[in-house]
């Protein structure tokens, strides 16, 4: 099966670089990209072309950190610091997902919203509820989204009577969940200790063993907030730094994503680089909860892998266009905090982080490289006023910043067209 | 003529405070608010009530600083510092407004977008073009928006051959503009020296004299960026601080709005307070252009008047819901820059700045006070998921943060219903 998309094709083959092919052809065979071409070669004579005219065709988004059960509280409780916010908002909201019908309704809406804003790859936290997690995976799979979802493990310091599980329950339910989700094709499980304060050593050891035995990826939180880091230090006096609490239990390798890393110092960053851990920068969330601004420029310079996460509902934007703009804006706050010495992220750099850098966690090459699975967004912007002809790169910049209702015309995920504007 | 709106009425009677009347009545006589009531008194028996059910009814927005002719470049050129950005983007974009047909098309779209997102009061920069300015005023008036628009004065340091006027032209055209816009009812003229570097002393003196003679308000820019401030110092070695270049020419009083004021120190802030100048905080713009973060908390503590501006197109959001969230977020960046010592703006404080504080420049009392002109937005949020019943204040917080397509159901401006959702 050949797919040929025609339009102004813009991709991010390297951090800070945009490849542009105006009125070009993006071609995939059986859902796998073969290349981007300025003209259609003879072998495709007579093949069907989806012609999107003057639209932009860009890579779709990878959102490497978000909490699905916090979707109902998106945009609320932003005046609280992290640990208070967890208790006042996040835990009670997640507790509702004990009800499968509620979970079905909310997760279907979430999957629909993700698709319509062009997010086709995720690393997502569910709640501790196994059934709701399976429902979430089912809804994402049906919507055509790809990636990883984790049942959350949290056998200590939860919300008593509201959101908690025993160590034994956590282990048993994790195994039940892993068995039950085996048949899904595009949504796979990822082990998800909530964060070190939420998991006993016994549970952490169990999860590390499981990761090794079943070759499973791992996601968690790291060095988001000073109070959190102090707490981890008290809980693990044997570990010099937060990341070592994951490393100790086999939860720290090149299939690990760690959200936030706002306060990761040189040693922690070196440990990430050595292990091949992917940092997920959650700019909105870190600013909303006054956690700080992660040293993204420094991480990039040092060769640490960095991708973006919406982190709903610490973050208030689900749409990765907004999240990209937030990352750029946060880098400007960081520049100010660093006495104007640290270069901010350009839009092209932010775009790379939101697309290629996230896709790398799924084994893809940057940009629309041959061999990548076809993940793409078709974008129209012809209803916006303009004062001169814009280059595709300028149009992409504008798309990142400017709220454009109905701009997304179509979305492709793993070779399938999963959205067409109604 | 009696107007009665029924719904969950939320207003900002003081900075940081929200007044809530659930399922209450907002009543106006001939477009002037008489009060907010929990029940309808007998005198209104038989009167027609516009019942908005469970919707929120809130004050509409005042956007006290934006550049209408930069609307076509909204969301572009954000990787440049202020003075480079002016030359590369702002000046060429504004130059297009020499063409009246182009101005008509763009300004009609701008007026429509402002209305649909609930901005009913503005202090707005046009370009230097008199005809385009009159077209802008006409389109705003027709759309039902109220407030001030200024033909920009800039007789030096413009863009030669692109965007410039002589001193004589600037004076003559200003008088022609003032004559031509006399018959508009809701959109009034405001004198608009672009900023000190753009205006000769002769022009500044002319504008100051005109302000006094015709009792006109004044808008300009102040202390946005270090390079700009250095430039002003070179141009006016006789003035110790930037604000004194306005004061010297009679452009500094309680009918003056000054945008940005990022770097206004204690002395400059005291001068604002003494004169009753209104500061317009433009959080998005200041972060995009890496200008800095204005000391809004300190200004509020000191009793300086502060309102909000979208500052399109240095700012990338026209919608004041976003601008409010940006102000809150910027205050958190400021907190981080101040070693976590400065309290951030709460959502209720941000809301006050976006509504009541801006309306004050137009002589209104805070909130839905009796005697105020009826300016209101009706907001629905029933398509959003939720995990429990939310209070009206929580719903308002969510509205500020969360992009909700189609949330605005109706807008009232100066007593008239100027928008109803199609």
pLDDT at residue number B57: 98
User: Best residue in B313, B336, B346, B395 to probe A by mutation, most A CBs within 10 Å?
Assistant: B336
pLDDT at residue number A421: 94
pLDDT at residue number A218: 98
Task: Give B214-245 as a 3 state SS string.
Answer: HCCCEEEEECCCHHHHHHHHHHCCCCCCHHHH
Query: Which residue is closest to B105 within chain A, CA to CA?
Result: A385
Chain B environment of A388 (Cβ under 8 Å)? 92, 96
Supply the ipTM of this predicted assembly: 0.96
Within-domain flag for A103: yes
Q: Say whether both B302 and B406 belong to one domain.
A: no
Please give the interface size between A and B, counted as residue pairs whose CB atoms are below 8 Å apart: 126
Burial A374-386 (b: 16+ CB within 10 A, else e): bbbbbbbbeebbb
Q: Say whether both A79 and A191 belong to one domain.
A: yes
Within-domain flag for B229: yes
Chain B environment of A76 (Cβ under 8 Å)? 390, 394, 397-398, 401
Q: Say whether both B108 and B210 belong to one domain.
A: yes
Q: Say whether both A16 and A66 belong to one domain.
A: no
Residue B242 to residues A50, B114, B195, B205: CA-CA distances in angstroms? 57, 32, 10, 16
Closest CA to A206 of A165, A238, A161: A165
Chain B environment of A96 (Cβ under 8 Å)? 387-388
Within-domain flag for A360: no
pLDDT at residue number B386: 85
**DSSP classification of residue B397:** H
Q: Say whether both A98 and A122 belong to one domain.
A: yes
| Min Cα–Cα distance to chain B from A295, Å | 14
Q: Say whether both B238 and B153 belong to one domain.
A: yes
pLDDT at residue number A82: 81
Rounded CA gap, B277 and B358, in Å? 12
Q: Say whether both B174 and B265 belong to one domain.
A: yes
Within-domain flag for B79: yes
Q: Say whether both A411 and A342 belong to one domain.
A: no
pLDDT at residue number B83: 84
End-of-domain residue from the set A354, A385, A410: A354
Q: Say whether both B54 and B108 belong to one domain.
A: no
pLDDT at residue number A403: 74
Q: Does B84 touch chain A (CB under 8 A)?
A: no
Q: Say whether both A181 and A44 belong to one domain.
A: no
End-of-domain residue from the set A354, A379, A408: A354
Within-domain flag for A359: no
User: Best residue in B56, B75, B80 to probe A by mutation, most A CBs within 10 Å?
Assistant: B75
Rounded CA gap, A273 and B331, in Å? 33
A396 is in which domain, residue-wise? Answer: 2-59+366-420
Q: Say whether both B234 and B106 belong to one domain.
A: yes
Q: Say whether both B23 and B167 belong to one domain.
A: no
Rounded CA gap, A332 and B291, in Å? 9
Within-domain flag for B331: yes
Within-domain flag for A349: yes
Rounded CA gap, A140 and A118, in Å? 13
**DSSP classification of residue A70:** G
Q: Which residue has the tokens 């072998």?
A: A43
Cβ pair A262, A225 in contact under 8 A = yes
Cβ pair B290, B263 in contact under 8 A = no
Number of domains in chain A: 2
Q: Does A73 touch chain B (CB under 8 A)?
A: yes
The CATH number that applies at residue B326 is 3.20.20.140
Running along chain A, 422 residues long, what does each successive block of 10 average in pLDDT?
Answer: 97 98 98 98 95 98 98 91 88 97 98 97 98 98 98 96 96 98 98 98 98 98 96 98 98 98 98 98 95 97 98 96 97 93 96 98 98 98 90 95 90 98 92
Q: CB under 8 Å to A160, separation ≥6 — which residues?
A: none
Q: Does A316 touch chain B (CB under 8 A)?
A: yes
The CATH number that applies at residue B46 is 2.30.40.10
Within-domain flag for A361: no
Rounded CA gap, B149 and B132, in Å? 11
Give the ranges where B338-415 is alpha helix by DSSP (H): 347-354, 356-360, 392-401
- Residue ranges, chain B, pLDDT below 50: none
Burial A212-242 (b: 16+ CB within 10 A, else e): eeeebbbbbbbbbbeebbebbeebbeebebb
Chain A environment of B386 (Cβ under 8 Å)? 72-73
């Amino acid at each position: 099966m050949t797919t040929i998309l025609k339009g102004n094709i813009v991709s991010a083959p390297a951090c800070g670089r945009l490849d542009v092919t105006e009125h070009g052809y993006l071609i995939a065979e059986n859902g796998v990209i073969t290349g981007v071409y300025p003209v259609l070669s003879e072998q495709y004579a007579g093949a069907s072309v989806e012609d999107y005219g003057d639209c932009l065709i860009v890579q779709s988004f990878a959102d490497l950190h978000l909490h699905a059960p916090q979707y109902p509280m998106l945009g609320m409780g932003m005046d609280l610091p992290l640990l208070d916010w967890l208790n006042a908002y996040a835990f009670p909201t997640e507790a509702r997902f004990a009800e499968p019908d509620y979970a079905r309704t909310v997760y279907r809406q979430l999957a629909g919203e993700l698709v319509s804003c062009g997010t086709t790859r995720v690393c997502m936290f569910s709640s501790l509820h196994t059934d709701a997690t399976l429902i979430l995976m089912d809804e994402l799979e049906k919507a055509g989204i790809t990636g990883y979802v984790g049942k959350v493990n949290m056998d200590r310091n939860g919300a008593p009577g509201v959101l908690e599980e025993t160590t034994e329950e956590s282990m048993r339910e994790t195994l039940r969940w892993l068995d039950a989700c085996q048949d899904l094709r595009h949504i796979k499980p990822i082990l998800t200790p909530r964060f070190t304060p939420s998991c006993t050593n016994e549970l952490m050891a169990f999860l590390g063993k499981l990761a090794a035995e079943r070759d499973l990826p791992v996601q968690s939180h790291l060095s988001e907030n000073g109070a959190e880091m102090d707490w981890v230090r008290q809980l693990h006096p044997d570990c010099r730094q937060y990341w070592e609490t994951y490393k100790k239990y086999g939860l720290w390798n090149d299939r690990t994503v760690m959200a936030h890393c706002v306060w990761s110092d040189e040693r922690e960053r070196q440990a990430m680089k050595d292990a091949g851990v992917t940092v997920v920068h959650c700019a909105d969330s870190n600013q909303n909860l006054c956690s700080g601004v992660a040293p993204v420029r420094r991480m990039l310079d040092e060769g640490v892998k960095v991708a973006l996460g919406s982190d709903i509902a610490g973050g208030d934007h689900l749409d990765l266009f907004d999240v990209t703009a937030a990352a750029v804006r946060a880098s400007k706050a960081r520049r100010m905090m660093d006495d104007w010495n640290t270069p901010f992220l350009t839009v092209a750099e932010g775009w790379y982080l939101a697309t290629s850098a996230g896709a790398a966690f799924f084994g893809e090459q940057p940009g629309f490289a041959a061999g990548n699975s076809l993940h793409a967004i078709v974008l129209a912007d012809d209803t916006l006023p303009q004062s001169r002809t814009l280059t595709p790169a300028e149009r992409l910049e504008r798309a990142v910043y400017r709220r454009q209702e109905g701009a997304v015309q179509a979305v492709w995920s793993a070779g399938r067209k999963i959205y067409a504007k109604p």
